[in-house]
Amino acid sequence: MQTRSVLIVLFDGVQSLDVTGPLEVFSGGGAAYTVTTASPGGAPVRASSGLRMLPDADLAEVGPVHTLVVPGGSGARRSGPELPPRLAELAAGAERVVSVCTGTFLLAEAGLLAGRRVTTHWRHSAALAARYPELTVDPEPIWVRDGRFFSSAGVTAGIDLSLALVEQDLGREAALAVARTLVVFLRRPGGQAQFSTQLSAQLAERDQVREVQRWITEHPEDDLSVQALARRAALSPRQFARVFTADVGVTPGRYVASARLEAARRRLEDSRDGVEQVARSCGYGSAEAMRRAFARTLSTTPADYRRRTR
């Protein structure tokens, strides 16, 4: 079995989960990976949470690596002048260059991402685009690939991306075994989006409304009109609409539209079903109705979305 070397860069102000998430995933791959951490001068670093981390090596002395992982954190947005040039040197010989969260800032500062499509934590997307206008910053996906460069969204998205890389290297079963060990999804329910429907909206306080939210997510193909959902909640349509909006923060109609779009995205990403079949299974009356929803919300077509995410 080919052994791939993975280098995770450490620096003061690093986000500890950006480090430990990928480290645990690749370490779970057993003999397929050797994982090393390194910092400037090999010195201990203090994570943004205050956690003290002891690296394996001096960053200046690390040789060529297969996969270079650059985590984020407050230190990534205010790094010293010595780190970006060393990252550029290491990236030149790496088969894969990976950023987690705001690690994208470091790779951009190293001059590695000009003209590329990238993502980062949604909170810092606008700042990244403003500081590095030569990048195409997409704030929505949990991770993005552009050639040999991979970028991921905030914090735990580094686990999603690392699992995808393990699946690419070793196959689905190996990646699934790692995901099960870590008790995480191989592919999170929200699909490629940083926010699933239930993360974007708030979870209702009332039991019957939470049950309706669950039903919508699990049955996007059903009748999800206000009248049907009100019957499930044992409320009148007017009372249900008022209670749902107050608890969830959006109207039932908007919540259903988001849930159906999310379900369609997931099926386009993970299945080989045709567009017409995906549309029917996600509650759209026709493929044209689903195309209109994609154009309105994502500014793309279902077919283009499938090509881009797969």
**Which H/E stretch holds residue 34?**
strand 33-39
| Distance set, CA 211 to CA 195, 243, 249 (Å) | 20, 13, 16
User: From CA 208, how far away is CA 305, in angstroms rounded?
Assistant: 35
- Whether the CA torsion 214, 218, 224, 230 is positive or negative: it is negative
Closest to 266 measured CA to CA, from 170, 196, 179: 196
Choosing from 70, 87, 101, 229, the catalytic residue is 101
Residue 282 a catalytic site member:
no
Q: Going by DSSP bridges, is the β-strand pair 67-70/4-9 parallel, antiparallel, or unpaired?
A: parallel
Contact 52, 46 (CB under 8 A): yes
**Which of the residues are catalytic?**
101
